[in-house]
């Protein structure tokens, strides 16, 4: 697409750098931290980006109860710091609006903002009722992005992303935990998989499709927010059934529920109405649920076969 991509990397000797290099050798890295305003200003000054995508967050919902303040700082106030870095570096103020060729900003908003849903499916105008410190922090970032657009005329947009998954998903999230678990049991490395609420339902799509939508949002003539999801919802139980069938197993022989994975407040059911993205961006997901889960299970079987069964152990037992 002709992009030169820079990634913001935080911390000293960050162990993810090696992994990132293996995956994406041509991404350039620059140091910075969402907790440090000066580092973000320096990064924007150095890179002089055309587009900024804020995909950074404490994104594991259970962790947001354990570290609620840090979640507010990173997932919520981090958005303010990125927007301020863009505003300051671009010389934008209440009396000086952006010119042509301004930096365009994308904020990864989340369907977790809907929480206890007021209507189904959820659209751009469905009210928010977040159910976790994570959802509350995301709602702050969402409204702030709208506010900078309205206050300063900045090209700042939010994609309200429903759950997006791939073989690269961390194994603390339920899709990957299940596909890895099914693959481990199939290959004889484990006998049991322990899960929380099997009745929760999510609109699960393929991350690659969602990244395409992000890029399309920044390529529009004028800025607007969009719901990005498939419009199809499945329960955790259906997810488990699909993954175990993909390796020829019956999940009822292996899956047990464990109270350690039940959340203090749950989001029961999410389902997107992506009609605005379809009508205005021409965006549609290309990969459906069954294909996505099969892709993830296949990748995990292959990974385990080559790693001797040790993949994903760093997160697999995380409870809230
Ligand atoms: O995979 P999850 O942890 O994803 P969750 O909470 O929906 O959030 C993800 O999607 C959001 C987009 O809507 C993102 F903003 C967010 O950053 C993250 O990427 O859990 C999905 C559902 C929940 O209802 C949970 O209670 O699965 C249920 N679940 C049941 N057993 C479990 C488990 N979730 C996890 N992580 N682990 C379990 O053992």
pLDDT tens for the chain, 320 residues long, are 789 999 999 999 999 898 888 888 899 999 999 999 999 999 999 999 999 999 999 999 999 999 999 999 999 999 999 999 999 999 999 888 888 789 999 999 999 999 999 999 999 999 999 999 999 999 999 999 999 999 999 999 999 999 999 999 999 999 999 999 999 999 999 999 999 999 999 999 999 999 999 999 999 999 999 999 999 999 999 999 999 999 999 999 999 999 999 999 999 999 999 999 999 999 999 999 999 999 999 999 999 999 887 776 654 445 54
Mutate to test the pocket of ligand 1, among 115, 131, 163, 210 (most ligand atoms within 8 A of CB): 163
Distance of CA 19 to the CA centre of its chain: 19
Residues 272 and 213 sit within 8 Å (Cβ to Cβ): no
Please give the Cα distance from 194 to 173 (Å, whole number): 13
- Between the CA of 22 and the centroid of ligand 1 the distance, in Å, is 27
- Structure tokens belonging to residue 124: 């751009």
Residues forming a β-bridge with 232: none
pLDDT at 315: 47
- Between the CA of 172 and the centroid of ligand 1 the distance, in Å, is 9
- Between the CA of 263 and the centroid of ligand 1 the distance, in Å, is 10
Per DSSP, the three-state class of 315 is coil
- List residues with catalytic annotation: 110, 112, 134
**First-to-final CA distance of the chain:** 40
Residue nearest to atom 25 of ligand 1 (CA): 197
Residues 195 and 257 sit within 8 Å (Cβ to Cβ): yes
Residues 83 and 145 sit within 8 Å (Cβ to Cβ): yes
Residues 51 and 58 sit within 8 Å (Cβ to Cβ): no
Please give the Cα distance from 308 to 316 (Å, whole number): 16
């Amino acid at each position: 697409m002709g992009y030169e991509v820079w990634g913001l990397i935080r911390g000293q000797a960050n162990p993810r750098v090696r992994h990132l290099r293996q995956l994406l050798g041509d991404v350039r890295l620059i140091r910075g931290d969402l907790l440090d305003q000066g580092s973000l200003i320096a990064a924007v000054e150095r890179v002089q980006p055309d587009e900024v995508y804020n995909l950074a967050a404490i994104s594991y919902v259970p962790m947001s109860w354990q570290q609620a303040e840090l979640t507010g700082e990173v997932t919520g106030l981090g958005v303010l710091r990125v927007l301020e870095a863009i505003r300051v570096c671009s010389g934008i103020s209440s009396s000086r609006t952006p010119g042509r060729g301004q930096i365009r900003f994308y904020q990864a908003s989340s369907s977790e903002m809907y929480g206890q849903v007021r209507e189904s499916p959820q659209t751009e105008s469905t009210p928010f009722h977040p159910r976790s410190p994570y959802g509350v922090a995301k709602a702050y970032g969402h409204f702030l992005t709208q506010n900078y657009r309205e206050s300063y005329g900045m090209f700042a947009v939010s994609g309200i992303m429903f759950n997006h998954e791939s073989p690269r998903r961390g194994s603390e999230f339920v899709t990957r935990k299940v596909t890895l678990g099914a693959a481990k049991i199939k290959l004889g490395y484990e006998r049991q998989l322990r899960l929380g609420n099997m009745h929760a339902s999510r609109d699960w799509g393929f991350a690659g499709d969602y990244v395409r939508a992000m890029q399309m949002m920044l390529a529009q003539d004028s800025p607007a927010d969009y719901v990005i999801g498939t419009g199809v919802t499945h329960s955790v139980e259906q997810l488990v059934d699909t993954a175990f069938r993909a390796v020829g197993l019956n999940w009822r022989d292996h899956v047990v529920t464990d109270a350690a994975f039940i959340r203090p407040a749950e989001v029961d059911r999410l389902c997107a109405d992506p009609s605005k993205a379809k009508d205005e961006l021409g965006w549609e997901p290309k990969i459906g649920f069954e294909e996505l889960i099969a892709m993830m299970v296949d990748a995990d079987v292959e990974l385990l076969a080559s790693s001797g069964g040790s993949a994903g152990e760093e997160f697999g037992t995380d409870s809230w």
